[in-house]
Chain A
Amino acid sequence: MNATVSMPAGRLWAAYFGEIRFEFIKALRTPQFAVPTLFFPIMFYVLFALALGGRGNGGSLAAFANYGVFGCMGPGLFGFGVALAIERELGLLTLRQALPTPAGSYLIARAVMAMLFVTLITLMLMTLAVLFAHVPLTLGQAVQILCVNVLGTLPFCAIGMFVASLVSGQAAVAICNLIFLPMSFLSGLWFPLQILPKFLVDIAPTWPAYNLSQLALHAVDAPSSGSPATHVLALVLVTVVFFFFAMRRFQSGGYRLLGARPRRTLTLVTGAGAVVVALMFSGVFGGKPASKEDATAATDAASAAADTPVSEAPAGVAAPAVAVIADFDQGSAAASYGIGWAAAGDEMRGGNSKAAQHLVDGGAAGSKGALEVTGEIGNAIQYPFAGAMFFPEGPPMQGLMDYSGKKTLTFQARGDGRRYMVMVISGIKMDTIPLMVDFEAGAEWHEVRLEFANLGAADFKRVRAIGIGTMGPTGPFHFQIDDVRVE
């Protein structure tokens, strides 16, 4: 009797690779897994970012990065959460345990399967972004985003595994969905975080999807907040903690997912993983500044302002009696009070949208002059803007004007037929979401009229700025305004 039957190293490696291949093919042939995980991110990107891109400028690098993060979540969450719970119920985990399956091969194969899915999703998003949205993605950025997304799958694998360790397959579907969609939303993957209530914005850094999205934004050189090292740390922590508790639950249920010597397997796997993470991290972020625009600083300033009770909040300066803000007939773009008009792009926020203004002859209703604004909407940030701004009470954005005694904002407009918008920035906090009202600027002069009474979303006691311009779609634009009045 031969006392030991040794497994040749070559066969052992082949077994690991065979397992990965098996899991990948199995996942591809499981439509309830493959279809949503592969096509939801693509579909959402096409529908929300590209098709409706006029508003949010979905053709930006930032949107591309955010939808990629959304794509990372599904394969990890569902591939581990649902599939693991179901296969445990089917008795498959038990059978694998009785067979001489190589240590940890099942978990490794599933994680690699999820990463391969994420690779496919990222490549599809890239193709769409570059071919149809003309996103200016460089090869370097493409490689970096792929690294971020592929590694970013792991925290979601760990969360999914934790879910699977707690509940049945049916319940896991529900729970994973409850994690998947709300976390995407709360992490600002589809809409800017700023539209959410303050406490939700404050807790956003808790979500792994948020941390990953900041890394992805960083990878494509879009504005991001926080330092990449912190985000990586947060993600590693999430992965380790959820994996640890999931393993404990499985272990106490008698499942040896890492073989007879889990510590040894774990040390090998995490050692290899750490080297990969370190290499990618230094490769991806080594040459970059910590963060382009420190949005957290702005948020801090805003929260400091928010701490001031409303009763003590500064009120706006009473508005002058004069109705006309500007008629552009005196050979100047200057308003009758305040600062402006001034052309503005979004470079301040890290974007590449540009605007310029000049006076032209032939104003509305036969008046002498009008203000023409020309420029181009870029695609570097998710919510670009270019147009002309008016600050009723200087210094810009700091001063507050009390328009509560007035009833309407009116002006004449014409232009290239695009949709434009009036933006009213107001409120105690500087980063309050502006009020935005759409209008179309056709070839003929026509009046745009905002009734303050109908616009509850703005704080007309404290108006910081009024902007007229566009948020997209990407490309050149031009429009003219005349006879701006608040009365």
Chain B
Amino acid sequence: MSQNTLASLSGVRKRFGKVQALDGFDLAVKRGELLAVLGPNGAGKSTAISLLLGLQTADEGSAELFGHAPQEIEGRRRIGVMMQEVALPAAMRPRELLTLVASYYPIPYDVDAVIARLSLEGLLKRPYGKLSGGQKRQVQFALAICGRPELLFLDEPTVGLDVQAREALWRVIRELLHEGCSIVLTTHYLEEAEALANRVVVMARGRLVTSGSVDEIRANVSDKQVSCVTRLAADTVRAWPEVLRLEAERNRIQITTRSAEAVLVRLFREDPALSDVEVKRAGLAEAFTELTNEKNKEAS
């Protein structure tokens, strides 16, 4: 394994009953990167992460964490984990949880330093069970980073956070990245991936759809968005063959298309009073939808 690959999956297959959760999937997490793993529900994201964390074993293929099988403790001493569906002991206070988790690591951060870094001072007196959903996520994030990890797994880290808390968390994530920590992020918030990721992996049906930088993924996608104010009825426009999707809001319509030029010509021809025209390349959200749709079409 390359010195710069911290964690990897090679040719893994994993089946749960009738569902082929992973179907020959490869992944390599490089040192210093923030890798966002995207995909619709059931794409195999969580199974892939579970294999890397040693929570599952692959039917075929192999998983490695710092050159060890993930089940072995050596690799896991170098990672931090924030999982989505976990309820920590309700009776325990944040500092007690932090002290316990930090005790598992060889050279953890000072617990007080972690508290200060994430501004958790206000939460210390309350047991975990009495914290709000957002506050619980903050404590879970603190637990994930307290061991001074070289690789951090974050599963939907900002669900339930208000904008301010999310910004604060993003700031810490960027700092960690700057300090050399690598991060694997699974998220439904595409803007989160757009804002943080160096590299994106898109999965569908247990396979890799594409991977690359945010810009590369976007460039892969030929979709454009045309938005304008028009007198034309939304349903009329929607029926044009070039139009993939159309959303209407009062008299403004937003068209997703692969041939923006053709659509524009026809729009101007049929509605000379057309105004407020905007053309842009699809964002990650649209790219993602298109990529996974194609994958689904191929599969069916």
Contacts and interface: CB of A to CB of B under 8 A. Distances in A.
Interface stretch (A99-107, A160-168, A338-346, A409-417): A99-107
B235 interface: no
A25 B96 contact: yes
B53 interface: yes
Contact of A98 (B31, B81, B88, B99): B81
B76 A100 contact: yes
Nearest to B80: A99
A4 interface: yes
A87 B90 CA distance: 11
B3 interface: yes
A237 to B, nearest CB: 31
B131 to A, nearest CB: 15
A18 B99 contact: yes
Contact of B104 (A3, A101, A254): A101
Interface in A2-31: 3-8, 11, 14-15, 18-19, 22, 25-26, 29-30
Interface stretch (B67-75, B225-233, B270-278): B67-75
Interface in B82-137: 83, 85-89, 91-92, 96, 99-101, 103-107, 127
A94 interface: yes
A394 interface: no
A432 interface: no
Contacts of B147: 100
A5 B86 contact: no
Majority DSSP secondary structure for residues of B touching A:
loop
A5 B87 contact: no
A8 B74 CA distance: 13
B91 A100 contact: no
A482 to B, nearest CB: 66
A5 B77 contact: yes
B56 A254 contact: yes
Contact of A99 (B31, B67, B69, B76): B76
Contacts of B83: 91, 94-95, 98
Contacts of A91: 83, 85-87
A218 interface: no
Contacts of A94: 55, 83, 86
User: Which of A7, A87, A98 has the most chain B CB atoms inside 10 A of its CB?
Assistant: A98
Nearest to A18: B103
A468 to B, nearest CB: 57
A390 to B, nearest CB: 62
Given A26-B92, A94-B86, A98-B54, A11 B103 contact: yes
Interface residues of A, number: 34
Contacts of B55: 94, 97-98, 254
Interface string A344-363: 00000000000000000000
A204 B100 CA distance: 43
A92 interface: yes
Given A95-B86, A260-B69, A19 B91 contact: no
A452 to B, nearest CB: 61
B72 A92 contact: no
A7 B56 CA distance: 25
Nearest to A99: B104
Contact of B53 (A6, A15, A98): A98
B145 to A, nearest CB: 13
User: Which of B56, B83, B127 has the most chain A CB atoms inside 10 A of its CB?
Assistant: B83
Contacts of B104: 15, 99-102
Contact of A22 (B72, B81, B100, B127): B100
Contact of A92 (B78, B89, B107): B89
Nearest to B76: A100
Contacts of B81: 95, 98-99
A259 interface: yes
A19 B77 contact: no
Contact of B105 (A100, A259, A260): A100
A260 B71 CA distance: 6
Given A26-B91, A95-B83, A4 B99 contact: no
B100 A18 contact: yes
Contact of B106 (A5, A19, A30): A5
Contacts of B107: 5
Nearest to A4: B74
A361 to B, nearest CB: 72
A226 B81 CA distance: 53
A310 interface: no
Contacts of A254: 55-57
Contact of B78 (A5, A25, A90, A101): A5
B190 to A, nearest CB: 25
B97 to A, nearest CB: 9
A19 B100 contact: yes
A479 B78 CA distance: 80
A5 B104 CA distance: 12
A231 interface: no
Interface in B223-282: none
Contacts of B99: 18
A99 B103 contact: no
A256 interface: yes
B86 to A, nearest CB: 4
A91 B103 CA distance: 20
Interface in A61-111: 87, 90-92, 94-95, 97-103
A1 interface: yes
Nearest to B86: A91
Which 6 interchain pairs have the tightest Cβ spacing? A29-B91, A91-B86, A90-B87, A98-B53, A100-B76, A100-B77
Given A1-B31, A94-B55, A97-B53, 15 more contacts: A5-B77, A5-B106, A7-B106, A18-B100, A22-B100, A25-B92, A92-B88, A98-B55, A99-B104, A100-B104, A100-B105, A102-B73, A254-B55, A254-B57, A260-B73
Interface of A: 1, 3-8, 11, 14-15, 18-19, 22, 25-26, 29-30, 87, 90-92, 94-95, 97-103, 254, 256, 259-260
Interface of B: 3, 31, 53-57, 67, 69, 71-74, 76-79, 81, 83, 85-89, 91-92, 96, 99-101, 103-107, 127, 147, 153
7 contacts: A3-B67, A90-B87, A92-B89, A95-B83, A100-B73, A100-B147, A254-B57
